[in-house]
Structure 1
Amino acid sequence: MTAGEPAQGMTVLVSGATGFVGSRLVPALSSAGHRVRAMTRHPDDYEGAGEPVFGDVGEPDSLTAALADVDVAVYLVHSLGEADFEQRDADAARAFGVAARDAGVRQLVYLGGLGEERDGLSAHLRSRRQVEELLAASGVPLTVLRAAIVVGAGGISWELTRQLVKNLPAMVVPRWASTRTQPIAIDDVVRYLAGVVGNEKAFGRTFELGGADRLTYTAMLQQAAEELHGRSLPILEVPVLTPRLSSYWIALVTDVDPTTARNLIDSMGNEVLQHDEGIRELVPGEPLGYRESVRRALGKSPQQD
């Protein structure tokens, strides 16, 4: 193996293996020739790729066996749906980092969130940064990938968008709808994650991820409506919808719970754009645009109009 190239045939633990990102990453890593452990609280019910192993970040003692003889551990755990998610996520990251260090893990990989700290990050994004710090404090070389909205079937942010567009003939949106973001397809996120696993050039580094387009949330809703219905959606922006009112409104229209919705909406006031494209030097390839990401999330082939 040439120095700096991704290693093959490594033992990789994926925490959150049954989640939105993890369930796609595990088969990608297996296809790349790695021995993958899929960490889950319910290994007996696991039907995906890799070897299911029991592990619960809320039970630190359970992590010892899960991390034994692991080369790389990918951390994809969060508690966004809980009212005390910041404390839960901090405790979990601290425990996981210590267990990884004690097990002799060579690299930790974490998927965090974009956002400039000088802009006053939301609680959700602050928590993501704190998790980065706690994982790095373990002393295990950490690779952080920061992304904005990840677009794909089953993702919370995408499901929120899809259900709003599907269920409403018109929409009233708050001021955050004019904030710019840089949505990225789940396919690209998985490609980047797989590309940094075992890659020594990624050790101890933070990379920003972004799709091909920079859009406001209003523009994202419009493009999603065009792909779903074949027409645009009347949208009126008003200044009076607070995050709390917005979360209740979303809970009425979608099946996203109010706590998760509130935490997501709080983050939508932060502009989240990619300013550093260094990831492309390590993992070549052009990212998808938002419209194509939406088409894939809807199960459309690239050729369909």
Structure 2
Amino acid sequence: MLILVAGASGFVGRALVPALVEAGHDVRAMTRRPDRYDGPGTPVAGDVDDPRSLDDALDGCDAAYYLVHSLDHRDFPRRDAAAARAFGDAAGAAGVRRIVYLGGLGDPSDDLSPHLRSRQECEGLLALGGVPVTTLRAGIVIGHRGASWEIIHNLVGKLPALLVPQWGRTLTQPIALADMVRYLVGVLAIEDRETYTFQVGGADVLRYTDMLSRVSVIEGRTSIMLPVWLPFGTRPAALAASEALPLLTGVDRHTVRALIASMGNDVVVRDDTVREVVSFDPMGYDDAVLTALRDRARDRPAPHA
């Protein structure tokens, strides 16, 4: 199968492309700068913000993965909506048989954050071009270089005491990067022309305070969690987070603000229908953390002699 991966040079894309190649597929890795791409597959130029660039990238493809977002921009909902609509239209014109999209968990009936609401709106926009869309809604993906994971890991590593607002009690179901990729590859087995929305997560449902505490224990640190009854959604707290966390975590201000706002919403799997298509036991949170830490250690440059 000839497959295009939009977002091939991103956090999930860099893990997905090799898995697709290993599964025997021909993969086009779409990126704005194909000359800088150093992974497997065939690099192709394409930019979801430039619809004209998508035609050649999608030409002849059987399926396409859409792993793109604009969280690093203030106006990400508008940009993501326009990009999803353009990609869906281009995929339809190219005769693509299926789009696989990585979206976000969250009950649509809740007061979702702008980030989670945008993720779910993009599902429908991608489908407007007439191509069936398989959506995998996920919460935090735990893996080296993932933005949410980097926030968690750096907070624990750099602050001996953490002031945890009300979002610390929010429920989440983090998933390991390897398991996320396994689901993404597995849903290619769907051969009909229907649209599907699946919910995916790891083995553990946790509060954010639990996630922070368990990272602290795994790394042998002593981190004190101090609850403060100030919602992070309030303007003073959001502004403080958007200024302080980028300095601590290396994640840009707009992405931090979007992710922090989403921590007020429970992101838990309520429907495990995906197991009828891709059946395996996902790893627990501790194992996902250990894997991310091992990948981080391997990624470090060797010390000079």
Superposition TM-score tier, normalisation by shorter sequence: over 0.9
CA contact (8 A) 2:160 2:222 kept: no
Asked if 2 retains the 8 angstrom alpha-carbon contact of 1:72 and 1:198, the reply is no
Query: Deviations for 1:30-68, whole angstroms, at most 9, x for unmatched residues?
Result: 000100000011111111010000000111111000000
> Structure 1 residue 170: deviation in Å?
1.2
1:20 alignment partner, SS class: coil
1:262 counterpart residue number: 257
Structure 2: tracts of 5 or more residues without a match:
296-305
**Counterpart for residue 23 of structure 1:** 14
Match of 1:163, SS state, is: helix
1:145-188 superposed Cα distances (whole Å, 9 cap, x missing partner): 00000000010000011111111111111111110100000000
* 2:130 alignment counterpart: 139
Q: Report SS of the residue matched to 2:223.
A: coil
Which structure 1 segments of 5+ residues have no match? 1-9, 301-305
Q: What is the distance in 2 between the residues matched to 1:284 and 1:73? A: 22
Q: Secondary structure at the match of 1:83?
A: coil
Query: Could you report, residue by residue, the CA deviation over 1:65-87 in whole angstroms, capped at 9, with x for unpaired residues?
Result: 00000000000000001001011
> Are 1:60 and 2:55 an aligned pair?
no
| 1:44-59 superposed matches below 5 A | 44-59=35-50
Kindly tell me the number of residue pairs found equivalent between the two proteins. Answer: 291
**2:143 paired residue number:** 152
Where 1:197 maps in the other structure, the secondary structure is helix
- Aligned equivalents of 2:200 and 2:267: distance in 1? 10
Name segments (4+ residues, structure 1) moved above 4 Å: none
Cα distance in 2 for partners of 1:252, 1:153 equals 18
Residue 80 of structure 2 corresponds to residue 89 of structure 1: yes
d(CA) in 2 for partners of 1:99, 1:191: 27
Offset of residue 247 of structure 1: 2.6
Matched, 1:289 2:289: no
* Residue 279, structure 1, aligned to residue 274, structure 2: yes
1:233 aligns with 2:228: no
1: CA distance, partners of 2:142 / 2:115:
18
TM-score after normalising by structure 2:
0.93
1:201 positional shift: 5.6
State how far apart, in whole Å, the 2-side matches of 1:38 and 1:203 are: 25
Give yes or no for contact 1:196–1:202 (8 Å, CA) kept in 2: no
Cα contact 1:115–1:270 (8 A) shared by 2: yes
Which position in structure 1 is the counterpart of 2:207? 216
How many percent of aligned residue pairs carry the same amino acid?
A: 54
Offset at residue 235 of structure 1 (A): 0.5
Per the TM alignment, residue 243 of structure 1 is displaced from its structure 2 partner at its CA by 2.5
Letter in 2 for 1:92: A
Distance 1:202 1:143 in 2: 10
**Matched residues in 1 for 2:109 and 2:181: separation?**
29
